Structures are given as structure tokens and as C-alpha cells.
């Protein structure tokens, strides 16, 4: 099974972001080779509705986006790993916008066409910088997970969820306040997930996703 993790963190101050760390945990939990793609490495541009993608099935005016699609390839499973802020990272919005226009323009050209990327199943993991509590998880689910699941399903993807345990994928916060460290040399605090806690929070959902892929 070919698996890809897309980290939607745009934090350029760290070589390894929390989202990238989560991607590595996914690789560890699945015992498989996983391609980890960092969206921060691509200078994506907004869609201009030129319509050229109806023929090429990619973006003809944004070389970074074209390279991103080439790097994603055609995996069986994609994990979207999304940090909560704003609440949607801007490059995530550009990514979804361009996929929508590529899929839509291709459909207008040929209603029977299915883009190879739409055949991938989706696992959704979101995380944030507040301490992990029931109210925090519910906030992340309402503001980020639920809209993302509905958007991805609307784009023709199948998001792997469990109606009871993971109705909108997985979301979690920090283990404790100790994960937040102030730095006198930087305006923003350093917020880091403890890897052992990330594994603990992700193990069951990742296992569920992999099990669903085998059915």
C-alpha cells in the first residue's frame, strides 16, 4: 500500500514541525514507508479560473502546485495533518481550491472522468496548541475537522471515519502546559508535542484507518 502524509503546517522557523513529527509517528505506527510532504516547501498561488486544467488535469500556471501533485503521486492512502490556527492554514485553502477547480473543470469536459487522486482514501489528523481537554477537542472538531471532512467528501474523496469514536477523524491538543515554552528571543512561544503523547493519542485511530484499508 502506498501511503502519503501531507503536513499543512506553514511554520518555517522549524526544520521539523509538529505536523511533520505526527507524520513520522504515523510511519512508526504503521511500520510502512511513508512519503511525508511539507506544504511549506511549496510556494502555492491562488487559482485564477483560467480553465487550462480541464485538459491537463493539473495547474498550468503554478509550477509549485504542479510539482506538489507530482510529488503526491497516486497513493492509496493520504493522511492530512493539519494544525489548528485561523482556523485554516492559507495553503490548505489554496490546495483545496485548486483541487476543486481541477476536478470540476475535468468533469465539465468529461462527466465520466475521475482524477487519479480522487481514488485515494483520506485519514484526517488535526492538532492544536491548547492543552488536551474535552472542550478543546470539541472546539477543534467543530471549527476544523467537521468542515474538512465535509469538504473532502464533497471533492469526491472518502474520508475514513468511525461514526462513534472518530466521526470527523482525529484531533488532539497538548499533553500539558509544559509543552509551551516562552523564548525571549522570539515573539511566539515554542509549542511542541511530546512524541510519546502523540503516539498515545494516534495509535487507535491510525490502527483503525489501516484496518479499514485492508477491508
The predicted-structure confidence for 167-176, as pLDDT tens digits, reads as follows 999 999 999 9
- Measured CA to CA, the distance from residue 19 to residue 62 in angstroms comes to 25
C-alpha cell at 8: 499543512
As a whole number, mean pLDDT of residues 196-204 equals 96
Query: pTM for this one?
Result: 0.93
C-alpha cell at 193: 508535542
- For residue 15, the model assigns a pLDDT of 66
Domain coordinates of the chain in residue numbers? 3-11+14-213
Give me the chain's average pLDDT, please. 94
Instruction: Return the HEC string of 62-122.
Output: CHHHHHHHHHHCCCCEEEEEEECCCCCCHHHHHHHHHHHHHHHHHHHHCCCCCCHHHHCEE
- For residue 52, the model assigns a pLDDT of 96
As a whole number, mean pLDDT of residues 152-165 equals 96
Strand extents, DSSP E, the chain: 3-7, 34-38, 77-83, 121-131, 158-159, 170-174, 180-181, 190-191
pLDDT, one tens digit per residue, over 6-47 is 999 888 777 668 889 999 999 999 999 999 999 999 999 999
Res. 184: pLDDT tops 90: no
* Superfamily of 3-11+14-213 according to CATH: Flavodoxin domain (3.40.50.360)
Amino acid at each position: 500500500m502506498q501511503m502519503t502524509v501531507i503536513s499543512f503546517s506553514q511554520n518555517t522557523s522549524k526544520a521539523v514541525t509538529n505536523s511533520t513529527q505526527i507524520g513520522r509517528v504515523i510511519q512508526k505506527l504503521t511500520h510502512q514507508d511513508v512519503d511525508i510532504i511539507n506544504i511549506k516547501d511549496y510556494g502555492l498561488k491562488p487559482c485564477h479560473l483560467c480553465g487550462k486544467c480541464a485538459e491537463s488535469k493539473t495547474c498550468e500556471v503554478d509550477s509549485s502546485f504542479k510539482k506538489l501533485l507530482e510529488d503526491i503521486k497516486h497513493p492509496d492512502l493520504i493522511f492530512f495533518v493539519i494544525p489548528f490556527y485561523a482556523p485554516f492554514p492559507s495553503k490548505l485553502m489554496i490546495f483545496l481550491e485548486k483541487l476543486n477547480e481541477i476536478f470540476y473543470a475535468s468533469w465539465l469536459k468529461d462527466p465520466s472522468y475521475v482524477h487519479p487522486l480522487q481514488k485515494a482514501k483520506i485519514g484526517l489528523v488535526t492538532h492544536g496548541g491548547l492543552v488536551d481537554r474535552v472542550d478543546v477537542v470539541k472546539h477543534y472538531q467543530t471549527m476544523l475537522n467537521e468542515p474538512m471532512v465535509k469538504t473532502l467528501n464533497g471533492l469526491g474523496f472518502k474520508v475514513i471515519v468511525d461514526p462513534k469514536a472518530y466521526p470527523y477523524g482525529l484531533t488532539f491538543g497538548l499533553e500539558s502546559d509544559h509543552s509551551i515554552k516562552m523564548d525571549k528571543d522570539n515573539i511566539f512561544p515554542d509549542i511542541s508535542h511530546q512524541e510519546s503523547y502523540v503516539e498515545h493519542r494516534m495509535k487507535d485511530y491510525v490502527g483503525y484507518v489501516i484496518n479499514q484499508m485492508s477491508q
